[in-house]
């Protein structure tokens, strides 16, 4: 298995990066859809169901597979010999940030269910503020991996 991981390293790394990009795009866009859903949803008849379709498709067709790919390919990299030195701080800050991203993903999924059930209590302003969470986590991840402190 070790030899396979070493030989597959460039593929795993490439697939990990592609998955992360797709996941991040969704993590940035879905909260924006929620802002518009909250603030403009009642202005035009039929708009809330349109938002719900867009939100569901983004979450299920793009974000969920991208998150799963990020985890699978990321774990493959973690188990590749010589890639991660757990004696340093950076893998721990990255791991904590990825867990934070995963929590945020699930928080967004729960908010979608609230919209579907007519139970949303989060304001547009609050969604805008929450939209900064993936940005902060992304910065921690990128700087951790690049500088390897």
Q: Concatenated DSSP letters for 22-74?
A: HHHHHHHHHHHHHHHHHHHTTTSTTHHHHHHHHHHHIIIIIIHHHHHHHHHHH
pLDDT at 8: 93
Q: How confident is the model at residue 149 (pLDDT cuts 50, 70, 90)?
A: confident
3-state DSSP call for residue 83? Answer: coil
Q: What is the mean pLDDT of residues 9-25?
A: 97
pLDDT(38) > 90: yes
Contact 122, 34 (CB under 8 A): yes
CA distance 83 to 53: 41
Which range of residues forms the domain containing residue 111?
2-147
Q: Which among 57, 71, 83 is positioned nearest to 148, based on CA atoms?
A: 83
CA distance 48 to 41: 5
Q: How confident is the model at residue 39 (pLDDT cuts 50, 70, 90)?
A: very high
Domain count along the chain = 1
Q: What is the mean pLDDT of residues 109-114?
A: 97
pLDDT at 5: 85
| pTM to 2 decimal places | 0.92
Q: Which residues neighbour 49 within 8 Å (Cβ) at sequence distance 6 or greater? A: none
Percent of the chain residues past pLDDT 70, beyond the cut: 100
Percent of the chain residues past pLDDT 90, beyond the cut: 88
Q: Measuring CA to CA, how many Å separate 116 from each of 34, 38, 109, 120, 147? A: 12, 12, 11, 8, 43
Q: Which residues neighbour 17 within 8 Å (Cβ) at sequence distance 6 or greater? A: none
Contact 66, 126 (CB under 8 A): no
């Amino acid at each position: 298995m070790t030899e396979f991981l070493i030989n597959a390293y460039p593929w795993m790394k490439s697939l990990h990066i592609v998955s992360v990009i797709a996941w991040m795009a969704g993590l940035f866009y879905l909260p924006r859809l929620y802002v518009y859903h909250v603030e403009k949803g009642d202005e035009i008849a039929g708009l809330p169901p349109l938002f719900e379709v867009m939100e569901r498709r983004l979450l299920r067709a793009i974000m969920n597979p991208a998150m799963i790919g990020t985890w699978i390919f990321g774990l493959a990299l973690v188990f590749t010999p010589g890639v991660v030195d757990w004696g340093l701080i950076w893998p721990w800050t990255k791991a904590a940030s990825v867990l934070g991203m995963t929590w945020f993903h699930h928080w967004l999924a729960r908010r979608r269910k609230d919209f579907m059930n007519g139970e949303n209590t989060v304001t547009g302003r609050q969604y805008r503020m929450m939209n900064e969470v993936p940005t902060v986590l992304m910065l921690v991840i990128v700087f951790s991996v690049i500088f390897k402190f």
